[in-house]
Amino acid sequence: MSILSIKEILEDDSIISSYKGSEKTREMVKEQIRTIYGAKEVKHYDPYKTFTFAKWISLGYRPKKGSKALQTIAYIEKKDDKGEVIETYPKKINLFYYKSVEPLTDK
């Protein structure tokens, strides 16, 4: 089975992250990209194409040795048996930008 290239992944509208549209999350990750890759790279940032470790693995990629995850926070709602929210708590999410991954290799 051949894996898609990074370009194909970035252009395929059916492959998206679980990003829910939070402006705060977008800005947090943009600033980290600016720090790591520079201001010019920020224009390429798409929150729907910045994936978790597990998603990159499923696409046939892994983080490059020494690469650091981009950190953000998602707020999780805990619901009771009736479906009512009883608690909301933050959860740290680690994301990897397309420049920080490489294809998996068979050893």
For 76-85, the pLDDT digits (tens) are: 899 999 999 9
Q: What is the pLDDT of residue 97?
A: 97
C-alpha atoms less than 13 angstroms from C-alpha of 35 in its C-beta half-sphere: 10
What is the pLDDT confidence band of residue 90, given thresholds at 50, 70 and 90? very high
Please say if the pLDDT value at position 1 is more than 70.
no
Task: Look at residues 27, 91, 36 and name the one whose alpha carbon lies nearest to residue 66.
Answer: 36
Q: Is 56 exposed, middle or buried (0-12, 13-18, 19+ CB in 10 A)?
A: buried
For 34-71, the pLDDT digits (tens) are: 999 999 999 999 999 999 999 999 999 999 999 999 99
